[in-house]
C-alpha cells in the first residue's frame, strides 16, 4: 500500500521505522531480527536508507596510498525486497541523487517498479566524505526536487528517451525530507521552506522530518509550512538517545539542538543502560505529545536497534 493511502485511512498515528542496510560483509539476519521484534506493533511501512559510495585511501603493498571508491552499505533495493517478501509489510526504499546519473536513476526506478514497490523516499544525499559541498554526478540531479520530477514523469509514462513507444507508467508515492531546525546549508528557515515547497509542487505526497528532541521545533515548522502553503502530511522523525556519545555526535552530524534538560539527564547517568532508559523516556514523552497533537505517523530512526523502540512503542501504540 502507498504511504499516503495508509495515512488517509488511519484512525491514529501510524507506527513506522527506518533501517540501515548492514555494513558490507554483514548479515541480513540482524535486520530480520530487528523487524521481527517490532512486528507486534504492526508497522505500516518500513524505510530502508540508501548510502552513496565513499572515497577511501587504502595502503598498497609498495607503501603508496590508493584511492578507492567503496560502497560501505550496499543493497538497499535487494534488502527492501527481502524485507517485503518476509514480513509482507510495505517497504519504502530511499533513493538519492548523489552518485546517480539520470539514466541510472531511471534504471533504478524501473527495477523498483518491476519489483512491485509503490513508495520511494526521494533525497539528495550528503556530500561524499572529504567533500565540503554536494557535487551531483555529471548528468545527475543537483537537488531532490529534480529527482521527484523524474519519478513523477515516470508515473506519467514519460521516460528520458522521448522515442520510446508504448511506455508503461509507474505508480510511486513519493516522500521527501524536511528539517524542523533547518537544513544546514540553508541561510535561513524561509529559504529552506521555499525549497521544500518546490519538492511538494514537483509532486511529493508527504514530508518526513529530520529527528528533533524538542517538539516545539516540529510544531513551529508545521505552522510555517502551512503558512507557506504546504498542505501535505508532515511526519515527525524521532530517535531516542542511546549512548553517551550521542550528545556530542548528533548535533554535529545533523545540525540539531539537544535540549539542556535532556543533556543534564544523560549527564546524571552512570551506565550506558541508564542512558538508554533516559532516551526511551524522553522519546516516549515526545511521541505521546505528538500523538495528542494528531500527527499522521511516528517515524523512528532505529539504527538497527529494536529494544528501545519496542519499549517506546509499547507505551505509545
Ligand atoms: P534537498 O531538498 O535538495 O535540499 C538540500 C539543500 O538545498 C537545502 O538546504 C535546501 O533548502 C536547498 N535546496 C533544495 N532544493 C533546491 C534547489 N532546487 N535549488 C537550490 N537550493 C535548493 N541521506 C542519504 O544519503 N541516504 C538516506 O537514505 C537518507 N535518508 C534520510 C531520511 C530522512 C528522513 C532525512 C530527513 C534525511 C535523510 N538523508 C539521507 C539525509 C539527506 O540526504 C541530507 O540531509 C541532504 O543533505 C539533503 O537532502 P534533501 O533531500 O533534503 O535535499
Range of the domain at 167: 3-51+72-316
40 within a domain of the structure (yes/no):
yes
281 within a domain of the structure (yes/no):
yes
Residue 56 appears among annotated catalytic residues: no
301 lines ligand 1 (CB under 6 A): no
57 within a domain of the structure (yes/no):
no
How far is residue 178's CA from residue 181's CA, in Å, rounded to a whole number?
9
144 lines ligand 1 (CB under 6 A): yes
Supply the pLDDT for residue 196.
98
Alpha carbon distance, N-terminus to C-terminus of the chain = 21
101 within a domain of the structure (yes/no):
yes
Mutate which of 47, 80, 123 for ligand 1? The one with the most ligand atoms within 8 Å of its CB, which is 123
Print pLDDT tens along the chain (317 aa): 999 999 999 999 999 999 999 999 999 999 999 999 999 999 999 999 999 988 888 888 988 898 888 889 999 999 999 999 999 999 999 999 999 999 999 999 999 999 999 999 999 999 988 788 999 999 999 999 999 999 999 999 999 999 999 999 999 999 999 999 999 999 999 999 999 999 999 999 999 999 999 999 999 999 999 999 999 999 999 999 999 999 999 999 999 999 999 999 999 999 999 999 999 999 999 999 999 999 999 999 998 889 999 999 999 99
Determine how many CB atoms are found less than 10 A away from the CB of residue 217: 20
Nearest residue by C-alpha to atom 10 in ligand 1: 192
65 within a domain of the structure (yes/no):
no
In the block, residue with C-alpha cell 527506518: 18
182 lines ligand 1 (CB under 6 A): no
237 lines ligand 1 (CB under 6 A): yes
116 within a domain of the structure (yes/no):
yes
- Taking the centre of ligand 1 as the mean of its atom positions, its distance from the CA of residue 123, in whole angstroms, is 5
> Is residue 14 within 8 Å of 206, Cβ to Cβ?
no
Cell of 17: 521505522
62 within a domain of the structure (yes/no):
no
- Taking the centre of ligand 1 as the mean of its atom positions, its distance from the CA of residue 252, in whole angstroms, is 16
Domain count, the chain: 1
How far is residue 85's CA from residue 117's CA, in Å, rounded to a whole number?
11
49 lines ligand 1 (CB under 6 A): yes
Closest CA to 84 of 31, 122, 135, 131: 31
- Taking the centre of ligand 1 as the mean of its atom positions, its distance from the CA of residue 187, in whole angstroms, is 14
- CATH (domain of 144): 3.20.20.220
- Taking the centre of ligand 1 as the mean of its atom positions, its distance from the CA of residue 117, in whole angstroms, is 22
Ligand 1, residue 183: give the atom nearest the CA: 9
Alpha-carbon Rg for the chain, nearest whole angstrom, is: 20
Supply the pLDDT for residue 56.
83
pTM above 0.75, yes or no: yes
66 within a domain of the structure (yes/no):
no
99 lines ligand 1 (CB under 6 A): no
Amino acid at each position: 500500500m502507498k504511504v499516503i493511502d495508509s495515512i488517509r485511512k488511519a484512525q491514529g498515528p501510524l507506527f513506522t521505522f527506518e533501517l540501515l542496510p548492514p555494513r558490507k560483509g554483514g548479515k541480513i539476519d540482524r535486520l530480520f531480527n530487528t523487524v521481527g521484534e517490532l512486528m507486534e506493533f504492526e508497522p505500516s511501512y518500513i524505510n530502508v536508507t540508501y548510502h552513496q559510495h565513499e572515497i577511501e585511501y587504502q595502503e598498497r603493498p609498495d607503501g603508496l596510498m590508493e584511492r578507492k571508491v567503496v560502497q560501505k552499505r550496499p543493497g538497499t533495493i535487494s534488502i527492501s525486497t527481502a524485507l517485503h517478501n518476509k514480513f509482507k509489510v510495505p517497504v519504502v526504499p530511499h533513493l538519492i541523487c548523489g552518485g546517480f546519473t539520470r539514466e541510472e536513476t531511471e534504471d533504478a526506478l524501473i527495477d523498483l517498479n518491476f519489483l512491485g514497490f509503490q513508495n520511494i523516499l526521494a533525497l539528495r544525499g550528503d556530500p561524499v566524505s572529504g567533500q565540503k559541498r554536494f557535487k551531483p554526478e555529471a548528468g545527475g540531479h543537483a537537488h531532490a526536487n529534480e529527482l521527484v520530477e523524474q519519478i513523477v514523469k515516470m508515473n506519467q509514462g514519460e521516460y528520458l528517451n522521448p522515442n520510446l513507444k508504448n511506455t508503461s507508467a509507474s505508480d510511486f508515492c513519493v516522500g521527501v525530507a524536511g528539517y524542523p531546525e533547518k537544513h544546514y546549508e540553508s541561510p535561513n528557515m524561509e529559504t529552506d521552506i521555499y525549497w521544500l515547497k518546490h519538492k511538494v509542487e514537483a509532486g511529493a505526497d508527504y514530508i518526513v522530518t529530520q529527528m528533533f528532541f524538542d517538539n516545539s521545533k516540529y510544531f513551529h515548522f508545521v505552522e510555517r509550512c502551512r503558512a507557506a502553503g504546504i498542505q501535505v502530511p508532515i511526519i515527525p522523525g524521532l530517535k531516542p538517545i542511546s549512548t553517551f556519545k550521542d550528545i556530542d555526535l548528533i548535533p554535529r552530524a545533523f545540525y540539531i539542538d539537544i535540549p539542556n534538560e535532556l543533556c543534564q539527564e544523560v549527564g546524571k547517568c552512570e551506565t550506558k543502560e541508564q542512558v538508554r532508559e533516559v532516551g526511551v523516556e524522553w522519546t516516549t514523552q515526545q511521541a505521546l505529545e505528538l500523538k495528542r497533537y494528531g500527527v499522521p505517523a511516528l517515524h523512528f530512526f532505529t539504527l538497527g536497534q529494536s529494544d528501545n523502540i519496542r519499549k517506546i512503542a509499547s507505551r505509545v501504540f
